[in-house]
A and B are shown apart, each in its own frame.
Chain A
């Protein structure tokens, strides 16, 4: 039987709008975040996280918020810059990203403005659109809005050359990003993975309904974390089949980030007995050594 490597969490970061607290994303929250009116981050300055103005210009607000959470989590794990990874003994080719995005529609405000302006009676006129686009829309807009551009930006910031995943499965995507990162490390395909999920009303149609929020975790092979004497926040164990449910109180307001924020909220409870359990994922206190992931026998009797 193949032995899978233990995986730990060594960094965390999140950004929430005023009036919303992380604990409200906990699966058992008594005042869940979903009950709050959608709001945007206050005083968010992307330049505090991404210093290169050229890189910032290539990011829309959603990607800036996602990058900010990832930077916070990486700083929390002890990595300020790309060179800190190699300095800590990490091979960049074994460091990657797993990102949850929700409905990255390219329907940005200026694009929708242009589309509607050239659709009299609700019928799209391509020739008219071409004329408007030539003067008002950036030719590279489609490249900057590729769903996996957030992962690409994070990879560039920290020089991550390993696996890269971008998932969009609505409110389950945050949990699935953690799952992909977990199995990449457990299966010895990576040593460190930055998991992140973000919601921002970049999509003009969702502006009135989306909570701006982002969360990020740094997952690391336990052996790598121990070798660099990193602070270990928790040990992680994923169930083999990982059902596709999302346990999350705040997920309606923050579709992509909600479930990852639920993990972060649960992480705050770590140290309690029993371990924090989310669908498909369990968090254990760092001191526990009883849990291993060496056996992945299929569960029975559920057909």
Chain B
């Protein structure tokens, strides 16, 4: 992200709480080994559903990651995952408070929006629900006494942004993007732009979400977006496979610390990667209703914008970390867009899909895949991980899908795609950086 007059932006810290591990190294090891994070979900009964697997974060102890346990009472499980990932990223960056103007510190979060816990509200509502309406008088008389008084604060859509800003002491640029699957990568891209255009010097950016919610799963299952196979099959998520049937729900959070290159070098920070380009696009025209609104045009436009901002030709890419949702529609759109962007080169650029191993973390997936892509840029990294469960690659897609085992070697330039079910699409280009 260094066109004329703009500053260079680098990644100096990463934190992740995911089905594939609780830190970037663990994530990279899981990806290299093709070890799936998809399986039975311990904290939620999926018995009534046809598919009973999910990408859950196992053995999550928030006390290991969040410095102030008193704040737990304000956090749902998914919020804890987000805050834990953000605090891990800040700690890993080695950044210390006090050295920066707080107004030059930014925080950006891709979030699911409303964060409240339904079950905490139900006893109070039961006391005050009259003919389909909330009766405020009855709620005041009987409902409030049985409702968690912190419910409202816990439900705020920007609560992770609050905790991240608090940890950082950030008083500058901030945003809470409610963009579903595209939100997390948008936070990173816009954070990088804020630094590149001199609106901030350092930003903590990422996303979190959990799709492991019974009511949501009921809706998604009947919408045909979820894998509907019965049992507890860890091979359910099959992006780009001929027999792909939908996504597997997951949960998690992933954040990075972004810095202006000179700022990072001045404090001796370890530099993992450089953000080279970012692109956003929208379908702008109707897609097949309810199959998800992803579109070839939006994927293609976002990728071209990101490559343009990075001043790269598509043939210079070493790998694409695809959105790879695993629904027939989304994968077809994305594959077409990759072919449009890469033309004849499309058959030679390795394409991988992390969701085959992690499941769909919605706003948490983009940042998770950014951290996976950072791994591929390291000399001792996992290379380009293989797409799990892609036994019969869809012959119509015409891509170089990484299958079987990870593609070894250090990448120099990689592209990451993310999209929302509403069709909003974001692409990010990362590069390695010379010592």
Is A13's beta carbon under 8 Å from chain B? no
Is B102's beta carbon under 8 Å from chain A? yes
Asked if B216 and A105 sit within 8 Å, CB to CB, the answer is no
B136 proximity list for chain A (CB < 8 A)? 208
Asked if A93 and B180 sit within 8 Å, CB to CB, the answer is no
CA distance A187 to B171 in the complex (A): 22
Is A266's beta carbon under 8 Å from chain B? no
Which of A141, A170, A187 sits near B219, CB closer than 8 Å?
A141
Q: Chain B 111-125, CB within 8 Å of chain A: the 1/0 string?
A: 111101011001111
Is A276's beta carbon under 8 Å from chain B? no
Which of B4, B119, B178 sits near A148, CB closer than 8 Å?
B178
Asked if A296 and B134 sit within 8 Å, CB to CB, the answer is no
Which of B113, B171, B422 sits near A152, CB closer than 8 Å?
B422
Is B343's beta carbon under 8 Å from chain A? no
| A257, chain B: closest CB distance, angstroms | 16
Is B280's beta carbon under 8 Å from chain A? yes
Asked if B118 and A104 sit within 8 Å, CB to CB, the answer is no
A137 proximity list for chain B (CB < 8 A)? 219
A168 proximity list for chain B (CB < 8 A)? 111, 113, 157-158, 176, 178
Is B268's beta carbon under 8 Å from chain A? no
B422 proximity list for chain A (CB < 8 A)? 143, 146, 148-149, 151-152
- Given A92-B284, A97-B282, A164-B282, residue A204 in contact with residue B133 (CB < 8 A): yes
**B173-190 with Cβ < 8 A to chain A:** 173-180, 182, 186, 190
CA distance A3 to B298 in the complex (A): 28
B423 proximity list for chain A (CB < 8 A)? 152, 155
- Given A115-B122, A139-B219, A159-B285, residue A166 in contact with residue B133 (CB < 8 A): no
Asked if B215 and A93 sit within 8 Å, CB to CB, the answer is no
- Given A147-B179, A302-B101, residue A240 in contact with residue B198 (CB < 8 A): yes
Which of B103, B125, B157 sits near A241, CB closer than 8 Å?
B103
| B294, chain A: closest CB distance, angstroms | 11
Q: Which of A28-36, A123-131, A284-292 is near enough to bind chain B?
A: A123-131
Asked if A296 and B157 sit within 8 Å, CB to CB, the answer is no
Asked if B125 and A116 sit within 8 Å, CB to CB, the answer is yes
Is A299's beta carbon under 8 Å from chain B? yes
Asked if A187 and B197 sit within 8 Å, CB to CB, the answer is yes
Asked if B114 and A104 sit within 8 Å, CB to CB, the answer is yes
Which of B101, B112, B174, B222 sits near A298, CB closer than 8 Å?
B101
Asked if B123 and A122 sit within 8 Å, CB to CB, the answer is yes
**A180-197 with Cβ < 8 A to chain B:** 180, 183, 187, 189
CA distance A231 to B97 in the complex (A): 48
- Given A169-B161, A302-B103, residue A242 in contact with residue B173 (CB < 8 A): yes
Most buried by A among B4, B48, B103, B132: B103
Is A226's beta carbon under 8 Å from chain B? no
Most buried by B among A105, A116, A148: A148
In the complex, what residue of chain A is closest to B198 when comparing beta carbons? A296
| B218, chain A: closest CB distance, angstroms | 5
Is A167's beta carbon under 8 Å from chain B? yes
Q: Chain B 254-287, CB within 8 Å of chain A: the 1/0 string?
A: 0000000000000000000000000011111110
A-B interface pairs (CB < 8 A), number: 234
In the complex, what residue of chain B is closest to A99 when comparing beta carbons? B178
Q: Which of A16-24, A73-81, A106-114, A216-224 is near enough to bind chain B?
A: A106-114
Is B293's beta carbon under 8 Å from chain A? yes
CA distance A130 to B222 in the complex (A): 10
- Given A96-B280, A303-B102, residue A147 in contact with residue B180 (CB < 8 A): yes
Is B223's beta carbon under 8 Å from chain A? yes
CA distance A163 to B421 in the complex (A): 15
A87 proximity list for chain B (CB < 8 A)? none
Interface size on B, residues (CB 8 A): 80
| A152, chain B: closest CB distance, angstroms | 4
CA distance A130 to B221 in the complex (A): 11
| A167, chain B: closest CB distance, angstroms | 6
Asked if A303 and B122 sit within 8 Å, CB to CB, the answer is no
Most buried by A among B6, B126, B178, B200: B178
Is B5's beta carbon under 8 Å from chain A? yes
Asked if A126 and B48 sit within 8 Å, CB to CB, the answer is yes
B113 proximity list for chain A (CB < 8 A)? 101, 103-105, 147, 168
Asked if A101 and B301 sit within 8 Å, CB to CB, the answer is no
Asked if A142 and B178 sit within 8 Å, CB to CB, the answer is no
- Given A104-B114, A143-B421, A298-B104, residue A161 in contact with residue B199 (CB < 8 A): no
B421 proximity list for chain A (CB < 8 A)? 143, 146
Which of A97, A180, A189 sits near B175, CB closer than 8 Å?
A180
Asked if A93 and B281 sit within 8 Å, CB to CB, the answer is yes
Is A227's beta carbon under 8 Å from chain B? no
**A205-219 with Cβ < 8 A to chain B:** 205, 207-208
Asked if A127 and B48 sit within 8 Å, CB to CB, the answer is yes
CA distance A137 to B221 in the complex (A): 13
Is A279's beta carbon under 8 Å from chain B? no
A139 proximity list for chain B (CB < 8 A)? 219, 222-223
In the complex, what residue of chain B is closest to A131 when comparing beta carbons? B48
Asked if B118 and A148 sit within 8 Å, CB to CB, the answer is no
Asked if B45 and A303 sit within 8 Å, CB to CB, the answer is no
Is A2's beta carbon under 8 Å from chain B? yes
CA distance A162 to B280 in the complex (A): 7
Besides A155-B283, A296-B199, 5 other CB < 8 A contacts? A119-B126, A142-B220, A166-B178, A242-B172, A243-B171
Q: Please give me the 5 A-B residue pairs with the lowest Cβ-Cβ distance, nearest first.
A: A122-B123, A139-B222, A2-B5, A161-B284, A147-B178
Offer 11 A-B interface pairs, CB within 8 angstroms, sorted by A.
A112-B129, A129-B218, A143-B421, A147-B179, A147-B180, A149-B422, A168-B158, A169-B161, A169-B175, A303-B100, A303-B103
Binding site for A on B (CB under 8 A): 4-6, 45, 48, 100-104, 111-114, 116, 118-119, 122-126, 129, 132-134, 136, 146, 155-158, 161, 171-180, 182, 186, 190, 193, 197-201, 214-216, 218-220, 222-223, 280-286, 289-290, 292-293, 297-298, 301, 305, 420-424
